[in-house]
Structure 1
């Protein structure tokens, strides 16, 4: 097979092709094999002379004759034979494969279509110069399997492609392939593979680009025209910038599904914030309110830590929250170090929360985790109350603590133990005395360091007081001497008079 380099053919067979191909077409109407043999003799001469244009015409004409005759098995046979010819030009094979791909919609039945697809996949296997065509054929086969309900086969067929390594495929098409691979893995229940595949997409591709002024657009157009004039014939065209909003929304929808499956609520919140930073969402009031609600809900559901607390306060400062006032009021209560009684919270916000698809007071068949998230919100309210109590109390009796938290003794002890294990609060429970101590016990080194710092501060104050006293004494002496000199001068002046 030829290496595919572009060079001038040894001989131009275009005139012969103009004469032979119409004759072969007329012969093929009576005997298709004789018509193909007539073309093959010309194809051999053109191929040996590296005449790409004529070779491509011959190959495309042969497969077209087979298609028009309705002999699909002969078409598959000719595709395999022509691709294996000695010294066959790579671009000619590419042109033939592209032509046959255009015939797929004209196949009489699904079985014939699958046979043509299999022939094309055999021809394109292991050939870099037709990697994009192979990927598209494989995608068609995967879609057929998906329509038949065989999700596993569709997933296996499509996921065998490593499209991120294809240099001749546009970035948008690569992203579409990977998104479809992830979607099939999710439907197949292969969450690990879906997570791995999704990492192949760089989120920088979805970054929101600043709007360009008409002057900038005109300047870029002129620069592009200059580059097009200087570009050589074999050099591929540069990829044009296009709107990737649809890909961005699909990507983050899949990321939200993956994060929800693993109950990573903070990641879900971050993904919704990226969706929020989309022009189409910002311009749609209904979508904007729905996304704002979910940003608030999932940051509240996330376990407490420094990152969650920081994100919580930043979300609370978003001016767009005015569009969801009830959810904003709930969010604000988590930013204030005051107790939140769960019965009151449930009474005020329970019906509103359960009106969405995120929460449910009962186990819902449509989303089994909706009830789990509602219970998780109750847990976050209780944990917030425990942190508030630990902030204001050093010691508290167990009956009083259970009263403040609206919990039983067992639940109170459970929540305190969980927060102590997570190192969110420090607490020690004295069961016989029924007392909880939130005071952090300091070690000898800490006590000694504090005593040393206190003594250092005290000595500093004493030294400063000594300096001030000495200063006052010196000022008093100086003022006394000045007063003595003034009285002596006055006496001398009086004597002279």
Structure 2
């Protein structure tokens, strides 16, 4: 038995493990092309020649080493020896990177992937190895050139879709750091990671969240809303993805704030409140519930809002938030709310915080907070009109305006808006001239 035969026969377990890995990758590339059966096994030849090539490269004879490897690569490729071909491709790029020949590395990556009948799994191994060189590049231009080369050779290839997604994410981060937010967003939007069958679900969600973040950064709220639907909230139910869950709902809250969808914000904060890591932190739990309360009373009245506010009223945690419990009770009790009295009783705590408690940030002392505070008073007026509709069958506009503490014209406008929305049913008697 020769030395090469002895090496071949002494490692059957290793070859079996490698075959298992090849089969896994073949599952990925099966729908992208025909799986090629090995015709000649060059494992023994590679075991003999690869160390020689490495020695030549270490002694400064990189070109000679590459020439030897390229000749051997042609043999393994024409013989359909995927495993040996992958070993050779990986060694070629390793030697180029080790020698600091980054331009040559880019050239060899392009050259090797363009060769006729190139084996897909060998390319996948080479691309995976090249991705490990990104952190060792000497400067940013070299890094960008390598990323560009790898993205070029992975375009449209399903068997290296994961590597392409990670490279694109890294490039988008670089663009964002340079202030090119629009370019970074466009790069990420081109990734349809939800269709990647070989990518882990968590990584998919992370990349989709990154797409959402960049859309919000560039104020593309419509696209952010569309992208958010690619994530199933059932993914967060196992309690192991709290970090991603909180990030998702943070983006959804920002989206809903732009749309002034107060009921949606309330639901998102309820999801935050029901997160395990939030439940374990008393301060964060109380803050989440405060936001739930304030946004549910800010939401326009309908059947869903009415059902939600009554369920929130029954939450035991409100015993620790007496002022917020009183706010909810004001809107669930069939009594008129006095605007001046409400402001005097709650404004200080809701807008500024009291006794060392920080305000929630729902009603800050700025234009945005003032607009929400105004919306809150609109909800008070709407609540009072609904109460009048329950207690009165006939009332004059002047009396209604007096009870609402509004001018008659403003009271009439509010009433008309509620009739149009279907919140109340009203008939008015008016004189026409």
TM-score under structure 1 normalisation? 0.76
**Matched-pair contact (CA < 8 Å) for 1:60–1:99:** yes
For each residue in 1:99-134, what CA deviation from the matched residue of structure 2 results, as whole angstroms up to 9, or x when unmatched?
Answer: 110001111110010111111011111111111111
User: Is 1:129 matched with 2:159?
Assistant: yes
Equivalence for 1:43? 73
Shift of 1:430: 4.1
Structure 1: gaps of 5 or more residues: 210-242, 434-497
Task: Select the structure with the greater relative contact order (CA < 8 A; seq sep ≥ 6).
Answer: 2
Q: Which 5+ residue runs of structure 2 have no aligned equivalent?
A: 1-28, 353-358
Q: Deviations over 1:237-282 (max 9, x none)?
A: xxxxxx1111111111111111111011111111111112211111
2:383 aligned residue: 384
Are 1:402 and 2:411 matched, yes or no? no
After superposition, the C-alpha distances for 1:316-357 in whole angstroms (9 at most, x for unaligned) are: 112222121111111011111101100000000001110324
Q: Aligned partners of 1:101, 1:21: CA distance in 2, in Å?
A: 22
- Number of equivalent positions: 395
- Please say if residues 4 and 89 of structure 1, whose CA atoms lie closer than 8 Å, have aligned partners that are also in contact: no
Q: Alignment partner for residue 300 of structure 2, among 299, 303, 312?
A: 303
Contact 2:397 2:412 in 1 (8 A): no
Contact 2:335 2:384 in 1 (8 A): yes
Which residue of 152, 170, 175 maps to 2:182?
A: 152
Match of 1:74 among 87, 104, 110: 104
Distance 2:404 2:343 in 1: 14
Which residue is 1:108 aligned to?
138
Aligned to 2:291: 294
Deviation of residue 202 (structure 1)? 1.1
Change (3 A) 1:71 1:399: same
2:19 corresponds in structure 1 to: none
Of 50, 55, 61, the match for 2:85 = 55
1:197 pairs with 2:227: yes
Corresponding residue number in structure 1 for 2:14: none
- 1:152, distance to aligned residue in structure 2 (A): 0.4
When residues 101 and 4 of structure 1 are mapped into structure 2, their CA distance, relative to the original with a 3 A threshold, is farther
CA RMSD of superposed structures (Å): 1.9
**Aligned twin of 1:486:** none
Paired with 1:420 and 1:361, the residues of 2 have a C-alpha distance of 32
Aligned partner of 1:321 among 318, 328, 345: 318
Q: Shift of the alpha carbon at 1:431?
A: 5.3
Structure 2 counterpart SS, 1:30:
coil
User: Residue 278 of structure 1 corresponds to which residue in structure 2?
Assistant: 275
C-alpha distance after superposition, 1:392-440 (max 9, x if no partner):
112223443222211122222222222222222233444569xxxxxxx
- The separation in 2 between residues aligned to 1:391 and 1:56, in whole angstroms, is 79
Distance 2:63 2:238 in 1: 58
Equivalent residues in 2 for 1:301-380, closer than 5 Å: 301-355=298-352, 356-360=359-363, 362=365, 364=366, 368-380=367-379
Structure 1 counterpart of 2:422: 423
Give 3-state SS (helix, strand or coil) of 2:395's partner: strand
Structure 1 position 249 matched with structure 2 position 246: yes
Residue 16 (str. 1) matches residue 45 (str. 2): yes
Distance 1:138 1:265 in 2: 35
